[in-house]
Amino acid sequence: MPTIEHNGNSYNCDEDGFLLNGMDDMNDDWIDYVKGVEGIAELTDEHHKVIDALREYYKKNGIAPMVRILSKTTGFPLKRIYELFPSGPGKGACKMAGLPKPTGCV
Amino acid sequence: MGYDPANPMADRITDIGPPHYSKFHPPVVAKNKGKWLWHEITQPGVLVHKAESGDECWTVRVGAARLISTELIYEMCDIADAHCDGFLRFTTRNNVEFMVDDKAKVQPLLDDLASRGNKFPVGGTGAGVTNIVHTQGWVHCHTPATDASGVVKAVMDELFDYFTSMKLPAQVRIALACCLNMCGAVHASDIAILGVHRKPPMIDHSRITGVCELPLAISACPLGAVKPAKATVDGKEIKTVKVNNERCMFCGNCYTMCPAMPLADPDGDGIAILVGGKVSNARSAPKFSKLVIPFLPNTPPRWPETVAAVKNILETYAGDAKKYERIGEWAERIGWEKFFEKCNIPFTIKSVDDYRLAYDTWRTTTQFKYTNAIK
């Protein structure tokens, strides 16, 4: 199992850099680490709003929200989400929020 | 400037789409686009199209393995450079077509292709067996129940004569999909080769929490066999799922959604054969393919059982069907009970539909023929 070390923390990850143990392992240092690998220069309140929305929805429902629901709850159109997270809501935002890797025919 | 990982959005080009196809038209195609009068197949693998202007476009179609190296693509480019002013195209069944504007240029092209061993077999036109539309298999996918490239090679080796000739009643489209996601054309092909599982998924409770969105796995099941459950991992109670094995028909959808529910199994997995599909509207409406052989084992590297089954169906059809009749039209005309009898395929309960709208597929008439297919 690959491990990522960052700021003294160590995280169990899969080969795509998603947390294997889910949100239990996730903390502010993880956000800081993903920020580096996802090409995000500065973390803003808008980033946190997306992450909080994802985490809240996941805790409540056990799944990541549909893209339309994420847009509706955060008020950010998809275009803005891509500006915040260049890899997109799945590979970028869900990874940062500690959600499981998206599955299906992706 | 090269890509700068520290500044990934700098100089990023996006949303430009594919290049416009008109950039790649051979001159004779560009000139006569939309003005073709008629066409003719002059020999297997060679077509001529006549334009209003009197121009002719000669096309030579060659088989390809679909999964090919850059070396082979370069070799195709060399052939196109030598004979076709650098132009070529790929068909919707992954054959390659070389086009020339003069009949005199056809034979040198054919000679060149023939001189390269069996890399570029000419054929795939008219009432024959053309290329097999297929999928990833064990080369690249994580949900297959069989291989794609290997089975396709084994089948096409056996049916090679039908690729280079046009002696069947109508064209026969063979397709393969390595699981019942059916990427490609198996659901609507004359003969379809389909990878199937026969065992329910194994649930990895130790991983499921971190990698799986449980409601997705539950809703992925077409039969409602996956239910929420609790399990104890390392003394800790976790949320997980359970599978009602009696209800599971091994489709593998839950594994697609949830990596902790693998179901591939070397002995359980194998191949089902479906026949009688078509997509054209010629004479009869498009049809779905229907299951006739529920299971054949995976026997790499040559899959002899699958190859024999496909060849048997093809040759029985070739000997019995009328001109222009596709396999599905033939089977419906003679009756499916006669199809099973003529092909000497044992009819099993697996061919009797039992999924939701199954009733319409049962026989609600006294019209049938006595056959030896049901003992």
Question: What burial letters (b/e) apply to B16-41, b meaning 16+ CB within 10 Å?
Answer: eeeeeeeeebbebbeebeeeeeeeee
- Cα(A26)–Cα(A9) distance, integer angstroms: 10
Cα torsion through A16, B66, B279, B97, rounded to 10: 140
- Best A34, A95, A103, A105 member to test B by mutation, with max B CBs in 10 Å, is A103
Instruction: Dump pLDDT digits (tens) for B297-347.
Output: 999 999 999 999 999 999 999 999 999 999 999 999 999 999 999 999 999
Phi, psi of B140 (to 5 degrees): -150, -20
Count of positions (residues) in chain A: 106
Site of tokens 């697996």: B350
> How buried is residue A1: exposed, middle or buried, by Cβ count under 10 Å (0-12/13-18/19+)?
exposed
Distance between the two ends of chain B, CA-based, in angstroms?
73
Count of positions (residues) in chain B: 375
Would strands B96-100 and B89-90 be described as parallel, antiparallel, or unpaired?
Answer: antiparallel
Q: Which domains does chain B have, with CATH numbers?
A: 21-116 (3.30.70.3340), 148-198+266-361 (3.30.413.10), 201-263 (3.30.70.20)
Whether residue A86 and residue B214 make contact (CB cut-off 8 A), yes or no, is no
HSE of A78, CA atoms in CB hemisphere, 13 A: 7
Give me the pLDDT at residue B374, please: 61
Q: Which domains does chain A have, with CATH numbers?
A: 3-97 (1.10.10.370)
Q: Which of A3, A24, A45, A105 is catalytic?
A: A105
A58 close to A96: Cβ distance less than 8 angstroms: no
CA torsion through residues A44, A50, A53, A58, sign: negative
B316 close to B308: Cβ distance less than 8 angstroms: no
Q: Which residues of B touch A20 (CB under 8 A)?
A: 207, 210-211
Q: Any CB–CB contact under 8 A between B215 and chain A?
A: yes
Cβ atoms within 10 Å, residue A14? 15
The amino acid at residue B40 is E
Q: Mean pLDDT over residues A41-61, rounded?
A: 95
Give me the pLDDT at residue B271, please: 98
Q: Mean pLDDT over residues B201-212, rounded?
A: 94
Instruction: Dump pLDDT digits (tens) for B254-288.
Output: 999 999 999 999 999 999 999 999 999 999 999 99
Residue B130 DSSP SS3: coil
Instruction: Dump pLDDT digits (tens) for B84-110.
Output: 999 999 999 999 999 999 999 999 999
Establish whether A13 is a catalytic residue.
no
Cβ atoms within 10 Å, residue B282? 12
Helix (H) and strand (E) counts for chain A?
Answer: 6, 2
For the question of an ipTM over 0.90, the answer is: yes
How confident is residue B161, by pLDDT bands cut at 50, 70 and 90? very high
Site of tokens 């003992």: B375
Site of tokens 């890797």: A101
- Cα(A74)–Cα(A49) distance, integer angstroms: 7
Cβ atoms within 10 Å, residue B105? 16
Give me the pLDDT at residue B364, please: 97
Q: Mean pLDDT over residues A50-78, rounded?
A: 96
Calculate the alpha carbon distances from B203 to A63, A91, B11, B206 in Å.
18, 25, 46, 9
Q: Any CB–CB contact under 8 A between B11 and chain A?
A: no
B301 preceded by a cis bond (ω within 30 of 0): yes
